Structures are given as C-alpha cells and as structure tokens.
Structure 1
C-alpha cells in the first residue's frame, strides 16, 4: 500500500476488518439468518425466556428449514451443502438472538441429521433427512444419561437382539428437542459395542418428559428420554459405525458450531454494553467517556474479535478437511469461557439494569453457563488439549 492510499474508516462493529475474509456467499448466508432472527426471535425471546417456554417451535423449525439452516453443511437429501464457515456464521447469528435457538439448530443438524447422514443406510437417509432439512420433522440425540455425562463409555442404556428385532431399555437426560422430536438418534450398549439407533418417537415404550425449573436455556425444549422395551426392526440400527467413534464424531461437529455461536452471545452483550455506555450519563457525561469503562469495552472487543477470528480459522480448516478434534476443543474451551467473561463485564457496565430482561446480557450469561457444560465441560476440553500437548492420558 502506498503512503498516500486512503485507509478504510474504523468500524466499531468490525474493528479487525474480519468481513474482508468473507465471500459474498458467506455474507448472504449471514445476512439471511440475521434478518430471520431479528424478525422471528428477538422481539419475543425475552418473554419466552421469562416464561420458560419456546412456543411455536415446530413453526420455527419449518421456517429455519425454509432458509436452509437445518443440516446446512450436509450435502444432498434436501440439505443446503453450505460451507463450514457459512454454517458457523449462521450459528453466530442464531446465538446472538438466543442460545436456545442455536441449540435447536445444532441438535437438529450437527447431531441427529449428521449421525444419519454419516452413519445411516440409504433407506434411513431417504426416510428422514429430507423432512428434517425442511423442518417437518424435529430430531434429537440421546447420548447423555442421568449418571453418565462426560463418560459415555459407561452408559447403561442397552439394546439386545430378539430375533430380527432390537429391544432398547434405558434413560437419557438433558436432551434438547426431546419432547417435540419425531425421531431420536439413541446410542446404546450392545454385545458388539456402542451402536446408534434411529428411533421414531411414536414407538411403543418411548416417552420424553420435558425438564422444567431450568434457570438456563429457558427458551429451549429440554427433556429426558425414557426407553422401556422399545422394539425396533433390524433396519433401525445405524449400519456404518460401531463404538464411541460414532457419537464422538457427531459431538465434534456440534462443538464446532458452538465455537461460533458463543461469539454471537458475546457480541450481543458487547453491543448492549457499548450502546449503554454511549447513552447512560453519570457525573454529567456518558459513562463511556470514563477510562475504566473504556478499558472494559476495549478488553471485551479484543476477546470477542479474537474469538471470531479463531472460529473463522477453524472453519477454513474444516472446509479443507484438516480440522482435528483437539482443535475444536481449543475453540470451544476458549470461546465459551471468554464469552461468559464478556457477558459478565457487560453486566457491570449496565449496572443494575444488567439483570433486567429489558437487556439481553443476563439472559446470554445464564444460557452460556449451560453451553459451558454441554458438548464437553471445561475440564474435559482441558484434558483433551493436555493429552495432545503431552502425549499423556490424564482422563483415568
């Protein structure tokens, strides 16, 4: 660049100029999801959160299907075939509205649909994926159990052969979409190892009571899955995988979306704090004019946009087929942890107003406490990275 070239203006919304990394198609996906969320979620989500419900979830799923947001990084079967970066941008915009909406999309696409797409038979793919991509059928993913979260190898849910059929018994816990799902991908112990099963939720013996009294992810459907002698045909098993490699690869895909999504919650909280700092007056001038407030805003902006840059880097690696699970753990560990800190700092700038649902900050902060735990706790991702760095396994 010559000394006389004119620099672009500083953009407080994009201080590093990260939009320059995006192609026109990326921006179109981002803007489509952002517009949908602004119209269909933001005007209502505080009320949903306060009441602890997500009304009209089936309508929302169909609308998300119509804009290509369900299973969007998968190809064929009615899926959009979007890039990993485009899927990440969608997750960011959805979680900027609410983590519960991003969770709906993540569980549908990165867990339930991804499992069927990668490990299912052609018949299973044709039966379920087009309707799931359209939002006509909602899916859930049954791995976590009441007594076994971080240690899925110890799951108690089991499936036994009975002639040509399988009979499933067990319990799953903290299952997003469970009570509204038309199909559940359930992982169970068998004599051959852990296997996945595609379970229509109208199967006799299957039930999904909704979990109430949550103080996080309140605008999200969370359920227990109960399987009492659920009889399934041989065609219900996912034929292309045996062992924990199956569910863990699905979780890695979902964690990638969280790397982006957490930055959406952080961005929403940062923007609320920045707007508030510009307009809230104390001691005769806006609080944004005080050094301590500016220091907070600067630190928040640095961590926010570093996190987005990290997410973008991981997305390009995924698109190139070079993203390792340890790198996903790196992103999930950093971005969720920093997003929570951004929300907490934003709350201090808003003062007492920070706890009000008039502003999104406390809602995002409490939601992120769940995001911090699911798809691998902080401790689990620290140990994944610790093992990768040292070559020594500290899990057991």
Structure 2
C-alpha cells in the first residue's frame, strides 16, 4: 500500500472515530431536553406583542435542535394576564412575557423596567439597558421577587389614547376615568383623574359601557384590532408617559440558574433578536393602520400644551416623592435620567434635525 493511501485511510478512520465517540455525546450533553411554559400578559389577537414571545420560543428551539422547547400561552389560558410575574415568582410557570409596570402595586420600581412618563424613547431604552447598566440594575431589584429578566420587545412611542369626549384643559381631566398603566396613572391622579388598570381584553366592554371614559393601549395597529375607535372617537397623541414601552421575559430565578451556560447564551441572543423584531414590526405596520383609523372616523388630536406641561410637572413631583422614600427606585431612576440628559442633547443634534427636515419634505409631497 502506498504511503498516501495509508494516510488517507487513517484520516477517514480518525474522523469517523471522532464523530462516533466525541461529537454525538458532546452534542447530547450540550443540548439536554428542556420543556418550559411561558405565560404571556397579552391575548393572541394582538399578533405583534403576543407574537414576540412565539418568535423568541422559535429561535430558542431552532438553535438547540428542538431540544429546548418553550410553549407559549396567551393571557388567561393558564394565568391571568396581570398575574404573569406572580406565577413566575412562585414557580407556577418557568417564565412570562409581560410589562413591568403592570406590577407597580407591589413597588413603583417595577415601572422602570417598562416606561415612566417623560423618560426614554425606544432607542434610548435599548442603549441604557444594554450599555448603561439598566439590565443589571433591573435584575438586582427583581431578584427580590425570585426573577431574572431580559428585554424582549418595545412598542416605540405610543399614542395618548382614546377618549369619549375631547380634553383640552387640565380641568377636563378632573374625574376622568381612564385605563392607564404604571406610574402614568399616579400622575393622572395628581391632576384629578381616576386611573384604572385593566387587562387588554377587558378594555373595550368597559369603554363601550361607559365604565371608563378613556383608555390608552399601544398604537394604531393594536388599537385598530381592539376596535376602540367605534366607541371613543377622539384619538390623542402622543403618550408622553410611554416614549417607548419595553417588554421583558421574566424567568424564575432557580429555573434560570439550572440552565446550561450554552442555553443561557442562546436565550439571551434569542431575546435580543425578538426585542429588535417587535419594534421593527410596529414601525412597519403602524403607518398604514393610522391611515385606516382616520378613514374609519377616528379624530386625531394632539394633547394641548397646557395638559402636556401640567403632566410633566406632576410627574417630576411624583419622582421627587418616590426617590425620597424608595432607594430601589432612586438607584434605577437616577441612572436612567443621567443618561437621558446626554441622550436628548445628542438626539437633538442629529436625529431631530434630520427627521424634522424630512418631515417638511413629506408634508410638501416630495417624498
């Protein structure tokens, strides 16, 4: 036998041996079978916000050769939407997809994971979370509830909401019953409003019956699906209490700790990909949705300068009260606002100048 034939034969033998004795056991060891349940705070009808959890689960399954399976349940199927985080804390489910500000009744600090009035827009939230220490600060707080969390989705700046009657002055807010989430409700209360916290599926009947006078939800695409324009024609903008609403995956801390490091890396990557996907989809579907709503009779109204300024001033008063008595809130809020000062200076120089010019061109039918 010639020398090169021997070497070739040895090479084939070694490769086959490696595949048989190393590759398969290593693969099996790195990709154990894991089956988890994820409860969402949102109904299936809201395909973007609910669908983000499904996209995340799909990415995890694909990256693990289907060995890590996460079954997604809509709000109410196994856990009520506004109790998703509680189910994770007590181990009823391994994880949930939810908004932190749904749980301000426990502690106002929860809201800082999602949105508080006059805080950050979506791009700023991503920057602060991933590079400004926000993820770690939020998780230091959530550890008290046996939770580890990762950003997973953002709506972008939201609409201010649907109103049965026009609101032009601060006096018009007095006694107004409005479904509004998070600390935005606390600010509304300072202006004489009556905040209500309702799950997505409960809003329309409450608005139709007059149990509430107004509601905010997300934006044109989701609001159209929920049909609010049929019972509350005045559509106000913007939601200065939600310049960007960030959603999170919240994991039971023990279950998270049990995952192999390879799975943790895959989950983090999948969450970040899904985080990007939600905002991209909303930015794509909202422009046509707002046109359809206007054609269907929705009357777009900007909040008056009087209402906007009063809301801003009331929010600053609330933050002063909270930072004076809640160290957890103070720590996260001060980190966020320190970044906000620099971020808005930069956005004013670049993004605002560019966008303003292009909007003038759009109004002139030049785009």
- TM score, norm. by length of structure 1: 0.26
- Higher relative contact order by CA 8 Å / sep ≥ 6: 1 or 2? 2
Whose Rg is larger?
Answer: 2
- TM score, norm. by length of structure 2: 0.28
Q: Return the structure number with greater helix share.
A: 2
